[in-house]
Structures are given as structure tokens and as C-alpha cells.
Amino acid sequence: MSVDAPASAHHLHITATPAALSTIRTFTEGCCHALGLDDEQTFWILLAVEEAITNIIEHAYAGRGGELDIRCWRADDDFYILLHDHGRPFAPETVAPPDLESPLETRSVGGLGLYFMRKLMDEVRFSFDAEGNHLLMVKRHAVG
């Protein structure tokens, strides 16, 4: 992937299962605070990360678990989080955005995860290569 985490990035290596979610949350929250983000920013980053990790557990690893690396760092006042897994790749550009206009009766019940990630972060970049799947999310001016 084009963006590499700096050696100084906070790093968590864990098996992606539902049971790991609370550890991931605590790790991410700790990173946010250590990197100077306030509670408001942290809340929204935790939501974006929650959505991304849930997708990796459910879709990339189809519930069977697998290795996951999470790296967080800051560059200037921008916050970076990079997720790396070895599950099934997918084509994000083929995922239709959720229909936010139609009434509840005809709305799809899912499809909000990617939408949330994109709304909450300034950059959401997937890449898939021989080393696995990479997801980089950036929140610009996260500290301030």
C-alpha cells in the first residue's frame, strides 16, 4: 500500500473476532487520547473504527477469525489509522451507497457501515495486494 505507518505508530496485533472488539476499542481510545484528540473526536473515530472492524470480522473473515493489525499515528494535526487483514478482498467502489431518502418501509436495513466511515473520516482508502487488505482512514485537523 502507498501509505506506510511510521515505526513510531501505536500498534495492536490481534485475532479479528467479536471477542476482540473491546480490546480494539480500548486500544483505539487510548491512541486517540495519547495523540491529543478530545472526547468528541474520539467518539466519532471509535464509531468509524467499529464499523471497519465489524466488516473485517463479518465480511473479510466471514466470522472465522484471522490476523488483524491496527496502527495509529499522527502527522501534524492529522490522525491516521491503518487496518491490515488477510481475509477476502472486495470491491468497495461497487457497493451502492445507502438510500437515505426513502421511507423506512422500503429502506434496506443495512449498508450504513461504509457510509458512516466515509462521512466521519476525511479519507477512506482501501487497497488490496499480495500482502493482504489495507484500509487507511484519515481525520484531518483532528487535534486542535
Ligand X SMILES: Nc1ncnc2c1ncn2[C@@H]1O[C@H](COP(=O)(O)OP(=O)(O)O)[C@@H](O)[C@H]1O
Q: Which residues bind ligand X (CB under 6 A)?
A: 51, 55-56, 59-60, 88, 90, 95, 110-115
CA nearest neighbour of 82 among 109, 112, 48, 130: 48
Which x/- pattern over 3-22 shows residues binding other proteins (rule: CB under 8 A)?
A: ---------------x--xx
Total number of residues binding other proteins (CB under 8 A)?
29
- Rounded distance, CA 90 to CA 7, Å? 28
- 58 makes contact with other proteins (CB under 8 A): yes
Residue 60 CB coordination number (10 Å): 22
Task: Answer with the entry of ligand X, other proteins, none that 2 interacts with (C-beta below 5 to 8 A by kind).
Answer: none
CA nearest neighbour of 142 among 50, 32, 34, 48: 32
7 vs 109 by CB, closer to ligand X: 109
4 vs 88 by CB, closer to other proteins: 88
- Rounded distance, CA 25 to CA 23, Å? 5
- Rounded distance, CA 94 to CA 100, Å? 18
Binding residues for other proteins, rule: CB under 8 A, are 18, 21-22, 25-26, 43, 46-47, 50-51, 53-54, 57-58, 98, 100-101, 103-105, 107, 109-110, 112-113, 115-116, 119-120
